[in-house]
Amino acid sequence: MRGTIVKIISNLYTVETEQGRKECRARGRFRKDLLTPLVGDQCLIDEKQNYILEIFPRKNFLSRPTIANVDVALIVTSVKKPNLSLNLLDKMISVVTIHQIQPVLCFTKLDLLSKLEKKEIKSISSYYKKLGISVITNQEYKKLNKILKQKMVVVTGQTGAGKSTLLNKLNKNLHLRTDEISESLGRGKHTTRHVELFSIRNFYIADTPGFSSLDLNQITKEEIRDSFIEFQNFTCPFNNCMHDKEKNCQVKIAVENGKILKSRYENYLNFIKNR
Ligand SMILES: Nc1nc2c(ncn2[C@@H]2O[C@H](COP(=O)(O)OP(=O)(O)O)[C@@H](O)[C@H]2O)c(=O)[nH]1
Ligand SMILES: [Mg+2]
Ligand SMILES: [Zn+2]
């Protein structure tokens, strides 16, 4: 029988199958093959003995949190409290794009903005939309449900951005804890490595505080460059141009002409620095 691993606690694997959840053990040979089953793995189980027999090939996997076969990263981004960080947003978009994960951007706390500030967010949001990224606000549940249908989803974003609040609204039965952001103790408390997938209607979601610490360390600067997909619209005289100090760089010219968002370019330079 096929299933999806939705929870792992030491050597006990919870596998969701057509016939409900089964608590399974993994067969010894996984450890011999250095293949550790992960949350998100598709597997074959022996439902009589409650053993995982086989792990199917992965589409991708993330470490910190450790999770396999992720389709979508829901990047929850507050515009105030904590303040909008385009640096963090661009970092997340790059990291997930490089892992072949579709980024979905969800702005929160727009209610805390003035009219003028809202306009600014609108213009930023339309830039990201033009990149082909789905952009929504945390008020648009219906749209969000549609986008996430049948997907394996990880949720990411700063502490206090409104991730748990949003998930609780998508599924009334979740009862995830939500916190005031002032608690600076928060991070320490949340460093648990435990990952669990919540099944919401027809998609899986992982609420993973640790994901926000995902960084670009393991990634080459060429991969980072290519994850800024709008740069590919411009052809530079230099082959393999890093769009940094090269002469007649068309990307730099596009930034000056306002065709590329300045913050995107600045964040890019910041990410490739010292590599
Ligand atoms: N004003 C406002 N507050 C929000 C919104 N979404 C969440 N919050 C509040 O922000 C705080 C942090 O939310 P929480 O869901 O715990 O954030 P998490 O750390 O990302 O899971 C809580 O007090 C929420 O009630 C929003 O859209 N507007
Ligand atoms: Mg939370
Ligand atoms: Zn260039």
Burial class (CB in 10 A: 0-12, 13-18, 19+), 153: buried
User: Is 165 a pocket residue for ligand 1 (Cβ < 6 Å)?
Assistant: yes
Of 76, 92, 178, best ligand 1 pocket probe by most atoms within 8 Å of the beta carbon = 178
Residue closest via CA to ligand 1's atom 23 equals 180
Residue closest via CA to ligand 1's atom 7 equals 162
User: Is 160 a pocket residue for ligand 1 (Cβ < 6 Å)?
Assistant: yes
Q: In the CATH hierarchy, which top-level class contains the domain 221-272?
A: mainly alpha
CA distance 29 to 7: 20
Per-residue pLDDT of the chain (275 residues; tens, 9 = 90+): 999 998 888 889 999 999 999 999 998 777 667 788 988 999 999 999 999 999 999 999 887 677 899 999 999 999 999 999 999 999 999 989 998 999 999 999 999 999 999 999 999 999 999 999 999 999 998 899 899 988 988 888 888 899 889 988 888 887 878 875 444 444 434 433 456 677 665 677 776 554 544 567 778 999 999 999 999 999 999 999 999 999 999 999 999 999 999 999 999 999 999 88
User: Is 178 a pocket residue for ligand 1 (Cβ < 6 Å)?
Assistant: yes
State in Å: Cα 161 to ligand 1 middle.
6
Burial 191-227 (b: 16+ CB within 10 A, else e): eeeebbbbebeebbbbbbbbbbebebeebebeebbeb
Residue closest via CA to ligand 1's atom 26 equals 109
Instruction: Collect residues with CB below 5 Å from ion ligand 2.
Output: 163-164
Matching fold, domains 2-57 and 62-213: no
* Ligand nearest the Cα atom of residue 178: 1
Parse the chain into domains and list their residue ranges.
2-57, 62-213, 221-272
User: Is 14 a pocket residue for ligand 1 (Cβ < 6 Å)?
Assistant: no
Minimum-distance ligand 1 atom for the alpha carbon of 108: 27
Could you confirm whether domain 2-57 is CATH 1.10.630.10? no
Minimum-distance ligand 1 atom for the alpha carbon of 139: 27
Q: In the CATH hierarchy, which top-level class contains the domain 62-213?
A: alpha beta
Distance from first CA to last CA of the chain, Å, rounded?
A: 46
State in Å: Cα 151 to ligand 1 middle.
24
User: Is 164 a pocket residue for ligand 1 (Cβ < 6 Å)?
Assistant: yes
State in Å: Cα 220 to ligand 3 middle.
17
The string of pLDDT tens digits covering residues 127-144 is 999 999 999 999 998 899
In DSSP terms, 107 is beta-bridged to: 77, 137
pLDDT score recorded for residue 28: 74
The string of pLDDT tens digits covering residues 146-161 is 999 889 888 888 888 9
Tokens of 141: 């549940």
Q: What are the phi and psi torsion angles at 74 (to 5°)? A: -90, 110
